[in-house]
Structure 1
Amino acid sequence: MDELKELTKAEEQIMHSLWEIENGFVKDIIDRLPDPKPAYNTVSTIVRILETKGFVDHESFGKSHRYFPIVQKEDYKKFITGKLLHGYFEDSASSMLSFFLEEKKLAIKDLDEIFKIIQQHKS
């Protein structure tokens, strides 16, 4: 797979819809989007851009296309998290964790879960 590219907010929203439904026509993608729904042509254009970027492919049914993701959500999550960690936290997970704690984005129960995960990985 080529190097992943960062998606725009709109592209990411469409990808989340596609990851949920696994494959579908533009209408199916629109059905999963929050209100106010974007215009059909807007979604169609964004899906074609995603195809050009290598995130989506399609099967043809006459003039219609059923789209499906070729980049998995987990792969994009790893890419975007790595970019965040490198770009804003100098590759320091502890700096990132500290930031989330200071911004009150983590609750004590989240920390308990993190400690459990750390303990599991130590074994």
Structure 2
Amino acid sequence: MEKLTKREDQIMQIIWKLEKAFIRDVIEQLPEPKPHYNSVATIIKILVKKGVLKSEMIGNTHQYSPVVEFETYRDDNLTNIKKKFFGNSFPKMMAYFAKEENLSEEELSELIDVIKSNKTKKS
């Protein structure tokens, strides 16, 4: 999937949450100061061209919905972050977040349990 700009990502987050949206719905969800309708419409058209949104005519206006699921987008981004910043090492990435988040012993234990339970499910 093509990389999204910060504003494209912000709009996609809203549409993923709403599942289907008109441009005015997206604008309502954006923080103040609200961007102009045409600015949001332009970004949404770019997202349609990129293939992450689809458009459906409802009456005389377009309703937009995601083509790419949020989970797919998240997984692609996390994979890219792992490769780019952590030498494609999951343990290094997890160690970084554990350190940065200053996890308690209880949280570390919970994380280890989650990892172990997922490993058991895959076997």
Give the TM-score band, short-chain normalised.
0.7 to 0.9
With normalisation by structure 2, the TM-score equals 0.88
How high is the sequence identity, in percent, across the aligned residues?
35
Higher helix content, 1 or 2: 2
Q: Aligned partner of 2:101: which letter?
A: K
Partner residue of 1:86?
83
The correspondence for 1:118, drawn from 92, 95, 115, is 115
Once residues 76 and 122 of structure 1 are traced to their aligned partners in structure 2, the CA distance between those partners, rounded to angstroms, is 23
Q: How does 1:99-114 map to 2 (within 5 A)?
A: 99-102=96-99, 104-108=100-104, 109-114=106-111
The correspondence for 1:35, drawn from 24, 32, 56, is 32
SS at 1:47's partner residue? helix
Task: Note if contact 2:98-2:108 (Cα within 8 Å) is conserved in structure 1.
Answer: no
Residue ranges of structure 1 left out of the alignment (5+ in a row) = none
CA root-mean-square deviation? 1.5
With normalisation by structure 1, the TM-score equals 0.88
Which 4+ residue blocks in structure 1 deviate beyond 6 angstroms? none
Per-residue CA deviation, residues 51-84 of structure 1 (Å, 9 max, x unaligned), is 0000001111354100111100000001000000
- The alignment covers a number of residue pairs equal to 119
Residue ranges of structure 2 left out of the alignment (5+ in a row) = none
Deviation at 1:99, TM superposition (A): 1.9
Q: How does 1:19-98 map to 2 (within 5 A)?
A: 19-98=16-95
